[in-house]
Amino acid sequence: MLPLLAAESGADSNFVDFDVPLWVWAAFTALVAVLLLVDLLLVHRTAHVITTKEAAIESAVWIAISLVFGLVILAWQGGDAAGEYYAGYLIEKSLSIDNVFVWALIMSYFAVPQAFQFRVLFWGIFGALVLRALFIFGGVALIEQFSWIIYIFGAFLLYTAAKLLRPSHEEVHPEDNPLLKLVNRVIPSTPDYDGQKLFTVRNGKRVATPLLAVLIVVESSDVVFAVDSIPAIIAISREQFIVFSSNAFAILGLRALYFLLADMRNRFSYLQQGLAVVLAFVGIKMLISEWYHFPTFASLGVIAAVLTVAIVASIRKDPQPESDTAAM
């Protein structure tokens, strides 16, 4: 028993571990809330169609904020902590691209007007932050209590990577979502949109608009993606503050990324294979963690290199059409 405990202690010591005062958690939560409110009440105060240029600028701003926060962690807790943050952020950001494409299919299925898509995604992001927090704190607590769960997480990531490597032609069918079916039985609804409202009044009765159904499907899809992404980031860091903050900043930039990439799925032919390699690498990293700890900055380099190769290969295979180039 003693050798096993020693091995577990050694594995944990490979990750940064520091005490986070309650006021730091409160300050970070306040920062996230302020960023969300500024985005909702100032940047997107009125409903409008978001252009590619606008989405690109907003996405660059969100990425810049995320990178600057990494510098804050660097000054606060040192290079190892910053390395874990950046590696975790890169994993979450890359895995969220698939989430963006699923959102595009959902929006298309429900025929959501482009001007109203931001508002439903805002509430979707808010819900995703809450759900991810529950997954993160639960996942880390489980590993601390039952260290062998790390091997289940690792095996699951290898299984997910194998699935990504296989060609898939699956389509999203929101009407089959069990949660949506349940809500439709309980809440009266109308097939007509009423601006950005989730609920409206018809014939003197309060009913749900299709935007509520869209929000429910978006939230439930995020649960599915969290099952993959949370084990992946736990392989990079066990410090809850790092895991949650890197996750939060990756999610906060998802709306801008959606409006930038939603129609570009066919231009990233090798991205799915690249994500599969990343997940396989992280899965193996988990499985061998008791015997060997892959250095954090080396992990960051591997992940960045794999994604860069996948994106560059995709661009070379599927160059931008001349008409698109002329339009820009």
Residue 207 contacts residue 199 (beta carbons within 8 Å): yes
Number of domains in the chain: 1
Coil vs helix vs strand at 206:
strand
Radius of gyration of the chain (CA): 21
Q: How far apart are CA 244 and CA 230, in angstroms?
A: 10
pLDDT band at 172 (very low <50, low <70, confident <90, very high): low
Report yes or no on 129 lying in a domain: yes
Which of 30-39, 181-190, 299-308 is predicted least confidently? Answer: 181-190
Given this model, what pLDDT does residue 231 score?
80
Report yes or no on 328 lying in a domain: no
C-alpha distances (whole Å) from 39 to each of 122, 259, 327 are 9, 14, 28
pLDDT band at 263 (very low <50, low <70, confident <90, very high): low
Token pair recorded at residue 156: 């699951």
Residue 229 C-alpha from the chain's centroid = 7
Report yes or no on 325 lying in a domain: no
Query: In the chain, what is the straight-line distance between the N-terminal and C-terminal CA atoms, in Å?
Result: 65
Has residue 32 got a pLDDT over 60? yes
Sign, CA dihedral 197-222-37-25, equals positive
196 CB-near residues (< 8 Å, 6+ apart): 47, 116, 119, 120, 211
Q: What is the pLDDT of residues 79-121, one digit of tens each?
A: 999 999 998 898 888 877 777 777 877 887 788 888 888 888 8
Element (H, E) at 205: strand 205-208
Token pair recorded at residue 255: 């709306």
Report yes or no on 120 lying in a domain: yes
Coil vs helix vs strand at 200:
strand
Q: What is the pLDDT of residues 46-65, one digit of tens each?
A: 777 788 888 889 989 999 99
Report yes or no on 326 lying in a domain: no
Q: What is the pLDDT of residues 266-303, one digit of tens each?
A: 667 777 788 788 888 888 887 887 787 777 778 778 88
Given this model, what pLDDT does residue 13 score?
63
Q: Which residue has the higher pLDDT, 41 or 24?
A: 24
Eight-state DSSP code of residue 202: E
Residue 129 contacts residue 251 (beta carbons within 8 Å): yes
Q: How far apart are CA 25 and CA 10, in angstroms?
A: 27
59 CB-near residues (< 8 Å, 6+ apart): 253, 256, 257, 260
Report yes or no on 323 lying in a domain: no
Q: How far apart are CA 215 and CA 173, in angstroms?
A: 15
Q: 49: domain range?
A: 2-318
282 CB-near residues (< 8 Å, 6+ apart): 91, 154, 157, 231, 232, 235, 236, 299
Has residue 71 got a pLDDT over 90? yes
Given this model, what pLDDT does residue 66 score?
94
Report yes or no on 278 lying in a domain: yes
Q: Which of 36-45, 79-88, 127-136 has the highest mean pLDDT?
A: 79-88
Given this model, what pLDDT does residue 55 score?
84
Percentage of the chain surpassing pLDDT 70? 86
Amino acid symbol at 217: V
Q: In terms of C-beta distances under 8 Å and separation of at least 24 residues, what long-range contacts does 20-29 make, across chains too?
A: 20/240, 20/241, 24/241, 25/241, 28/241, 28/245, 28/248
Report yes or no on 70 lying in a domain: yes
